[in-house]
């Protein structure tokens, strides 16, 4: 089983739609969770950290479910500019301080 697994998509949604991505991780000792965004032919950039209590940043909401070992990203009121690949990032070995990236979920927001 991969350490971090994501649905590759692609997700094609109309502008204004709500879309959600899930990411599962295999090691229950994982302590840190992030979502990165990667535009086509660009480098990844941090979108948001994921906290145990869940967190929200504008139209983006991230949640962590430790019992089921997954994190989620919800995007409300999708914009054309949200089109990108969303990478789930996990620290799979707890204190070992190594970040492992998922393969990414591709989102295309259509006009």
Partner 1 sequence: EAGVAQSPRYKIIEKRQSVAFWCNPISGHATLYWYQQILGQGPKLLIQFQNNGVVDDSQLPKDRFSAERLKGVDSTLKIQPAKLEDSAVYLCASSRGQGNEKLFFGSGTQLSVL
Residues that bind partner 1 (CB under 8 A): 4, 8, 31-32, 42-46, 87, 91, 96-104
Q: How far is the CB of 15 from partner 1 (least distance, A)?
A: 26
Q: Would you state the structure tokens that stand for residue 106, as one six-digit string?
A: 């591709």
Q: How far is the CB of 68 from partner 1 (least distance, A)?
A: 21
Residue nearer to partner 1 on the CB measure, 3 or 17 = 3
Q: Give the CA angle between residues 88, 29, 49 to the nearest 5°.
A: 35
Residue nearer to partner 1 on the CB measure, 45 or 79 = 45
- 19-25 and 70-75 as β-strands: parallel, antiparallel, unpaired? antiparallel
Q: How far is the CB of 71 from partner 1 (least distance, A)?
A: 14
Residue nearer to partner 1 on the CB measure, 17 or 22 = 22
Longest distance between any two alpha carbons in the chain, whole Å = 44
- Rounded CA-CA distance 69/46 in Å is 21
Long-range contacts of residues 57-64, Cβ cutoff 8 Å, at least 24 apart: 60/35, 62/33, 62/35, 64/33
Residue nearer to partner 1 on the CB measure, 20 or 99 = 99
């Amino acid at each position: 089983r991969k350490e971090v697994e994501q649905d590759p998509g692609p997700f094609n949604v109309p502008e204004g739609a709500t879309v959600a991505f899930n990411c599962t991780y295999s090691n229950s000792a994982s302590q840190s969770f992030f979502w990165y965004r990667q535009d086509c032919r660009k480098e990844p950039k941090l979108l948001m950290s994921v906290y145990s209590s869940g967190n929200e940043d504008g139209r983006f909401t991230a949640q962590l479910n430790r019992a089921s070992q997954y994190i989620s990203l919800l995007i409300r009121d999708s914009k054309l500019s949200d089109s990108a690949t969303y990478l789930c990032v996990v620290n799979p070995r707890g204190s070992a301080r190594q970040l492992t990236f998922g393969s990414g979920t591709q989102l295309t927001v259509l006009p």
